[in-house]
Amino acid sequence: MGLSKWVNTIFRSSKAAAAATEAIKPSTTSPGSVGIENKAKTLSSQQQNGFASEATFETRAFKLHNLEEGPSTKVTLTKEDALKYYSQMYMIRRMETAAGNLYKEKVIRGFCHLYSGQEACAVGMRAAMRPEDSCITAYRCHGWTYLMGVSPQAVLSELTGRSSGCARGKGGSMHMYGKNFYGGNGIVGAQVPLGVGIGFAAKYNGTKGACIALYGDGAANQGQLFEVYNMAKLWNTPCIFVCENNGYGMGTSAERASANTNYYTRGDFVPGIWVDGMDVLAVREATRFALEHTSSGKGPILMETATYRYSGHSMSDPGTSYRSRDEIAEVRQTRDPITSLREKILTNELATVEELKEIEGKIRAEVDTATKVAKADKEISVEELTTDIYANPQNLTTVRNTLPLAELPHKRLGQAVNL
């Protein structure tokens, strides 16, 4: 089994990428962005005390749909932001590695979907978000939960079903929540209409915020998505639809499932942007552009991030029956988002090798400690299982039990996160 059409199309050689970029180049794209290799080209850097305080890069060109102009391909990265993004991506990678090991040890049970390889998508979007913005995603949500303010220990404890988890161990892998973070949703595609509702609420309440509603290429053919594209555009709802296109919906490649694999064009009257989802800086700039678009009253926008997952769809999927190990290795070696940012940082002297190793060591230690807590912590009591199902207990006084006529009482234990 050779490299898939997906890898050959998205992670092609620099020569092929240059030709494709020139072919789809919008009129507003600067000539300097044509022919850029997959990794961003350094334009300049500012030195301070012998080390760079910031550097400027050129990203791959963005593809546009129903837009006269798009984000700038010239991006600036400060040392502070570089180390922040690197730390966040490295933390997500270590957390997912720990989660995978806990699953193999049978400490984590049920469903578990890992985000390894896609870290630049979440970190880039989070970097652009404002305090008033919200996010809702599907079941590959561990990294997003951490970025939205939940500690690594609370994420891992939720995965193991322990009381110190962010949902008291009752949600597990697919149902994690935090301030302005609405999950973690287990029904394929169902989070997208909810995201439009969250955006509509922001507009109705005048918060000036927007909601980022994420889904994968596997969910992109759901009819409910096309319904809410239409509704969001009719109401000019401040919602950013994000298709994280990792090439495979479970075990089916995008080109086998979709007649139109240009997911950023699928919103019809909703404008769209294609972005290199393996470049955290490109994702950040595209998200900033999208937030500005929605905040100016122009309504929704659709963003497709071209990315890749290293693991299988879930822990029950080895991930090698529909793609080759060579394909996975090819992407790891040439397009890994963490390695790519590390090279940018070191090449432009934004930090030293020793500084990065110190960050990596602290993160490894933090995740190791969090893993031990997640394994040792206690589970909640049976009496607590039926608490906090509704924000208002009066809406549900009893909860059905395993036997008829043996209902359990519904009680309020804590305040709902986003009320």
Token pair for 318: 């080895």
In this predicted structure, what is the pLDDT of residue 349?
Answer: 95
Q: Cα-flanking dihedrals φ and ψ of residue 28, to 5°?
A: -90, -5
Token pair for 338: 């963490």
Q: How many CB atoms lie within 10 A of CB 316?
A: 9
- In total, the chain counts a number of residues equal to 419
In this predicted structure, what is the pLDDT of residue 48?
Answer: 58
Give the separation between CA 192 and CA 178, rounded to whole angstroms. 18
Give the separation between CA 195 and CA 122, rounded to whole angstroms. 16
What is the per-residue DSSP string for 375-390? HHSPPPPGGGGGBSSS
Give the separation between CA 58 and CA 41, rounded to whole angstroms. 5
In this predicted structure, what is the pLDDT of residue 35?
Answer: 37
| Phi-psi group of 160: left, alpha or beta (phi > 0 → left; psi -120 to 50 → alpha; rest → beta) | alpha
Token pair for 409: 């009482």
What are the structural domains of the chain? 54-380 (3.40.50.970), 382-418 (no CATH)
Give the separation between CA 372 and CA 172, rounded to whole angstroms. 17
Q: Cα-flanking dihedrals φ and ψ of residue 275, to 5°?
A: -135, 145
Give the separation between CA 141 and CA 147, rounded to whole angstroms. 10
For residue 294, the 8-state DSSP code is I
Give the separation between CA 73 and CA 282, rounded to whole angstroms. 7
Give the separation between CA 4 and CA 309, rounded to whole angstroms. 14
Are 384 and 168 within 8 A, CB to CB? Answer: yes
- CB burial of 231-268 (b: ≥16 within 10 Å; e: otherwise) equals bbbebebbbbbbbbbbbbbeeebbeeebeebebbbbbe
Integer angstrom CA distances of residue 73 from 70, 284, 302 = 9, 11, 18
- 3-class DSSP state for residue 59? coil
In this predicted structure, what is the pLDDT of residue 51?
Answer: 74
What separation, in Å, do the N-terminal and C-terminal C-alpha atoms of the chain show? 51
User: What tens-digit pLDDT sequence spans the chain (419 residues)?
Assistant: 556 766 666 665 444 443 333 333 333 443 333 333 444 456 666 665 557 899 999 999 999 999 999 999 999 999 999 999 999 999 999 999 999 999 999 999 999 999 999 999 999 999 999 999 999 999 999 999 999 999 999 999 999 999 999 999 999 999 999 999 999 999 999 999 999 999 999 999 999 999 999 999 999 999 999 999 999 999 999 999 999 999 999 999 999 999 999 999 999 999 999 999 999 999 999 999 999 999 999 999 999 999 999 999 999 899 999 999 999 999 999 999 999 999 999 999 999 999 999 999 999 999 999 999 999 999 999 889 999 988 887 888 888 888 988 898 898 888 888 88
In this predicted structure, what is the pLDDT of residue 17?
Answer: 40
Are 305 and 316 within 8 A, CB to CB? Answer: no
